[in-house]
Amino acid sequence: MSRASERAYAEIRGLILSGDAPPGSPLTEEALADICGVSRTPVREALRRLESELYVVRSESQRLFVASWNAEDLGEMFALRAMLEAHAAARAATRISADALAALRAGNGRLAAAIAADVPDVATFLMENRAFHEIVITAAASPRLATMLAALVEQPVVRRTAARYNRAELARSAHEHGELVQAFAARDAVWAQAVMTGHIRRAFHAFSAAEPVK
């Protein structure tokens, strides 16, 4: 992609991830070109990429919309993420460096502090949660796996899930991160895989309970 296309991609993807372009909202090349400060051609290229990554869907009339998912879509997304990220955790358990393990501990400490605030700091939770999972995926040392996980982890549903957690659920997430750190420290791939599977499945049920979808 050209630099202009990359810029448009980042801008549009940011609108979707932030919720400024909510699920189901229409996307037009003209409006997005104005927002991104580029011509329509790079916007068109960016939209094709976002469509291939399932952030954007095309109707029968060729109109583009921000993707919106039904219960089956969401169930599949979380199931795939659980399988792939559990595999990443298993690989990471036998490959993770001391520095990466220390980074996981430190990051989860910051995440726990954000949760313990009088009003939970969800923005910091999201940032540290993303960083934690990125360290695990990097430690897995599988570019193929990282590519496959990228779209699933970045989907806006992850952000919306965290935003719907109550304090107890956020604390549970931090606890599960702590158990993952223990599994990595023990170099126990089976333990790490089991904890990660449960971690992602719990996130799915938290989302489903907070916002039932059809």
Check residues 56 and 152 and name the one with the higher pLDDT: 56
pTM of the complete model: 0.77
Burial (0-12, 13-18, 19+ Cβ within 10 Å), 162: buried
Query: Residue 120: which of 112, 131, 109, 129 has the closest Cα?
Result: 112
Check residues 7 and 14 and name the one with the higher pLDDT: 7
69 near 155, Cβ under 8 Å?
Answer: no
- What integer pLDDT is reported at residue 55 of this predicted model? 85
pLDDT tens per residue across span 13-64: 888 877 788 888 999 999 999 999 999 999 999 999 999 888 899 998 999 9
Q: Is the pLDDT of residue 153 over 80?
A: no
Q: Is the pLDDT of residue 114 over 60?
A: yes
CATH, residue 117? 1.20.120.530
What is the span of the domain harbouring residue 170? 71-210
Bridge partners of 78, per DSSP, are none
Residues 34, 86, single domain; the answer is no
Contacts of 99 (CB under 8 A, 6+ apart): none
Residues 96, 170, single domain; the answer is yes
Q: How many domains does the chain have?
A: 2
Check residues 205 and 28 and name the one with the higher pLDDT: 28
Among 66, 84, 106, where does a domain finish? 66
Among 43, 66, 89, where does a domain finish? 66
Residues 26, 127, single domain; the answer is no
Residues 61, 79, single domain; the answer is no
**C-alpha span between 115 and 170 (Å, rounded):** 7
